[in-house]
Homo-oligomer: A and B are copies of this chain.
Amino acid sequence: MTTPLILVTNDDGIQAPGLALLADALKALGEVHVYAPDRQQSAVGHGVSLWKPLRVTQVREHWFQVDGTPTDCVMLAVRSLLGRRPDLLVSGINTGANLGDDVTYSGTVAGAFEGMLLGVPSFAISNVSHNPRHLDAAATFAVKLGRRILDHGMPEDTMLNVNLPDLPYEELAGVAITRMGRRNYQDEIIRREDPRGRVYYWIGGADPTHAQESGTDFEAIEKGQISVTPLHRDLTNHAAMHHFFEPQIEL
């Protein structure tokens, strides 16, 4: 059996400590290649650079930085630069949660989503703290989950979105298979004036709250568990496809 080829990316950028920790840990499973954005790309969603050329710079053996999004990194690596399809893709370790509706904004999740679209077994992994003390616990779990995926494969058209509470590995309360929870949206637009009296706006501010629902990613984190949410390629709401659209829309 050939050595597994493992692609690692992130959205916090190539300097992020979570990236190096993850890439080093995954060497236990195979040959690790890193393609990561040259700077912070959080909340870029599944953006892809169609309107500008991309530069790729090697920074050390098997490590490359790209002046684009996580999706750009994965496209370039898988469709061209790696030379063959990797056996596993891991995106992270992100600093900060990717839970509930926020997964749709996440560059970390988008990197894994692109891997899935390209047929690579893929997961995203995040520590929910903005100042994490236990990134190593996420690295340990990434190796465990990665080995399982290399051994058993993944459900078709599915990626995994993994979040860990910021706890030492031995204090984690197990692994929960979860569904995407729901953010409560609050008024989070901040209006300010610049030194020349012109108005500008910030999106964000207070940390958002979430709906209390059982079986969600949010609930697992509150219980001190690792949350593993399988996300699907197909966004169609199959249940809503027909009953709502009767009678048929006529031209």
A residues apposed to B, CB below 8 Å: 40, 42-51, 53-56, 71-72, 75-76, 79-81, 101, 103-105, 110, 113, 117-119, 141, 144-145, 148, 152, 154-155, 157-158, 169, 172, 174-175, 177, 179-180, 182-183, 185, 187-189, 191-192, 198-204, 226, 228-242, 244-245, 248-251
Q: In the bound complex, how far is the Cα of B189 from the Cα of A237, in angstroms?
A: 32
Could you tell me if A43 and B47 are in contact, using CB atoms closer than 8 angstroms?
yes
Q: Which of B203, B232, B234 contacts A48 (CB 8 A)?
A: B203
A185 CB, min distance to chain B CBs, angstroms: 6
Question: What 8 pairs across the A-B complex have the smallest Cβ distances?
Answer: A45-B45, A45-B46, A232-B237, A80-B189, A155-B240, A53-B200, A45-B47, A179-B236
Q: In the bound complex, how far is the Cα of B103 from the Cα of A234, in angstroms?
A: 10
Could you tell me if A105 and B251 are in contact, using CB atoms closer than 8 angstroms?
no
Q: Which residues of B contact A201 (CB under 8 A)?
A: 53-56, 76, 80
Q: Which residues of B contact A81 (CB under 8 A)?
A: 189
Known: A104-B235, A174-B251. 6 other contacts (CB 8 A): A71-B105, A75-B203, A101-B233, A158-B237, A175-B248, A231-B235
Q: In the bound complex, how far is the Cα of B46 from the Cα of A238, in angstroms?
A: 22
Could you tell me if B237 and A79 are in contact, using CB atoms closer than 8 angstroms?
no
**A interface, by DSSP: helix, strand, loop or mixed?**
mixed
Q: Which of B42, B154, B187, B241 contacts A244 (CB 8 A)?
A: B154
Q: Which residues of B contact A183 (CB under 8 A)?
A: 117
A107 CB, min distance to chain B CBs, angstroms: 8
Could you tell me if A55 and B200 are in contact, using CB atoms closer than 8 angstroms?
yes
Could you tell me if A204 and B45 are in contact, using CB atoms closer than 8 angstroms?
no
Q: In the bound complex, how far is the Cα of B157 from the Cα of A71, in angstroms?
A: 26
Q: Which residues of B contact A110 (CB under 8 A)?
A: 45
Q: Which residue of B lies closest to A242 (CB)?
A: B177
Q: In the bound complex, how far is the Cα of B50 from the Cα of A239, in angstroms?
A: 34
A47 CB, min distance to chain B CBs, angstroms: 4
Could you tell me if B251 and A172 are in contact, using CB atoms closer than 8 angstroms?
yes
Known: A201-B76, A231-B236, A237-B230. A185 touches B40 (CB 8 A): no
Could you tell me if B234 and A155 are in contact, using CB atoms closer than 8 angstroms?
no
Q: Which residues of B contact A54 (CB under 8 A)?
A: 200-203
